Structure 1
Amino acid sequence: MAHFYLVEELADSAVGSDVIVTGPEARHAVTVSRVRVGETLRVGNGRGLVVEGEVREASGDRLVLSVQAVTEHPAPARRVVLAQALAKGDRDELAVQAATELGVDEVVPWAAGRSISRWEGPKVAKGLARWSAVVREATKQSVRPWAPQVGQVATTADLVKRAGSSRVLILEPTATRSLAEVDLGDESDVVIVVGPEGGVTPHEILTLEAAGATTVRLGDSVLRTSTAGPAALAVLSVRLGRW
């Protein structure tokens, strides 16, 4: 596995300078990944900046990297957003993990009508923290220069507002139009809406369609809530020229 670490405070660096990584990230590199002096690794800030260099110090919770290359990766011209319904167990987290690896730019927890899992009170902060941790680790695993954003918990009314400025596509197995063929619109964000285990309710579909959203299907099979979003992202990555 490629060694890639996130240091959000990482700023512009020059070739020949040192980058110092401390705290949990450095401790993980030294004690878990067994990074040693002389190895080459990459460090990013999650906002497009990635530096690559040789490790010249690795001890405890301190890692010093001698920079050999600096790359600024531009943000995608068009953002892809996953509005993932809250689901029981860890199915929503599995969707978020895979979506991050596949290149999603933002994940939004959606409190859908048929969501069994509910984030209320202290559960909101706990749930957002968990999703943020999943996104962070998946960003590192997939060596992504840009880390996806984790949005606030959204209601259907919030998704309706997004439909006013974004191309909102609702994954629905009974839809007549295919995601592979549907018009993606202009340069606005593309938002994929994925329902929970019981699917998106007819009322939610009608409400979102009235705001400009479109129902689309992926194929003849019915996918789980944990796999539908990532499958859609793969299709969009091809259609948008990312892959």
Structure 2
Amino acid sequence: MRIPRIYTEQALASNTELELEEAPSHHLIKVLRMAVGRSLILFNGQGGHYDAEIIASTKKYATVKITQWHQQDNESPLNTTLAIGLSRGERFDLVLQKATELGVTSIQPMFTERTEVKLSGDRLNKKFLSWQKIIIAACEQSGRNILPTLKSPIHIQDYFTQERDQQQLKLVLHHRNSSRFSELEKTDDICLLIGPEGGLSQDEIDLAHKHDFKNLSLGPRVLRTETAPLAALAIMQQCWGDF
């Protein structure tokens, strides 16, 4: 039987006992129906993971005994930033989940000219927490022990004013060009910029060019906003990462 991996925000140490937060406790007790004596793996995003065992449970909380620590690094050697326009419905959720599985390092959601999602205030805060949960679940499933950084959504114009590493390869992905991966030099640090449904406007692409972003295309077919970044990330891992 597969041993579940559980994320906690708490500090972890061998040979200690810990009461898990309500959400992971609910998942263990109510969803997985795990009883006292069952084994699990704990990680807190600091690298590595711990073996643990459930030693007590109530209706809301599970208490575990933490045993051995394992230094396991499943992170990609390729540092990738995904700057992507917010999309509607479950499309953005899918991108977060799969990009995490593909080893993305950080994700910058953006409001662009063609973004149709309207988020602000409490609604934005709730959505951000929901996105964070998706990333945590993807790390639990994929074996990552370090969470990719999820940045607060910003307008694309503000994104371009941020300082960046001059050595980073910056790519703007759109179908109105013919540049290919085969034309790029090997690198270990990439920023990939992509728009929402309908893509980036020509003004936004021009602005990207002014900030040293190079064109990148994935071929003659127009890919959906949830398909294109995942295809690009997978190719990057094949070319320069650990695929």
TM range (shorter): 0.7 to 0.9
1:225 corresponding residue in structure 2: 225
| Aligned-residue offset at 1:47 | 2.4
2:29 corresponding residue in structure 1: 30
Q: Which amino acid aligns with 2:5?
A: F
Which residue among 166, 169, 178 is the counterpart of 1:167?
A: 169
1:10 corresponding residue in structure 2: 11
Q: Which amino acid aligns with 1:179?
A: F
| Aligned-residue offset at 1:98 | 1.3
Q: Which amino acid aligns with 1:143?
A: G
Check the 8 A contact 1:97/1:134 in 2, yes or no: yes
1:47-72 Cα offsets, whole Å, 9 max, x none, are 21311234444443123134134325
Distance 2:235 2:184 in 1: 11
TM-score by length of 1: 0.86
| Aligned-residue offset at 1:46 | 1.7
| Aligned-residue offset at 1:39 | 3.0
Of stretches 33-42 and 50-59 in structure 1, the one that deviates more from structure 2 is 50-59
Check the 8 A contact 2:171/2:191 in 1, yes or no: yes
1:235 corresponding residue in structure 2: 235
In the TM superposition, 1:91-170 aligns within 5 A as: 91-162=91-162, 164-165=164-165, 166-170=168-172
In the TM superposition, 1:80-95 aligns within 5 A as: 80-95=80-95
| Aligned-residue offset at 1:22 | 4.0
Against the structure 1 CA distance between its residues 240 and 59, is the aligned structure 2 distance closer, same or farther, given a 3 Å change threshold? farther
Distance 1:137 1:19 in 2: 20
Percent same amino acid at aligned positions? 26
TM-score by length of 2: 0.86
Check the 8 A contact 2:47/2:146 in 1, yes or no: yes
Against the structure 1 CA distance between its residues 3 and 198, is the aligned structure 2 distance closer, same or farther, given a 3 Å change threshold? same
Check the 8 A contact 2:8/2:21 in 1, yes or no: no
Q: Quote the RMSD (CA, aligned, Å).
A: 2.4
Q: Which amino acid aligns with 1:191?
A: C
1:176 corresponding residue in structure 2: 178
Check the 8 A contact 1:182/1:216 in 2, yes or no: no
Q: Which amino acid aligns with 2:4?
A: H
Q: Which amino acid aligns with 1:237?
A: Q
Check the 8 A contact 1:177/1:217 in 2, yes or no: yes
Against the structure 1 CA distance between its residues 2 and 99, is the aligned structure 2 distance closer, same or farther, given a 3 Å change threshold? farther
Check the 8 A contact 2:177/2:215 in 1, yes or no: yes
1:73-98 Cα offsets, whole Å, 9 max, x none, are 38655421111211122211211121
1:139-173 Cα offsets, whole Å, 9 max, x none, are 22223101111102122233324574232211112
Distance 2:16 2:88 in 1: 47
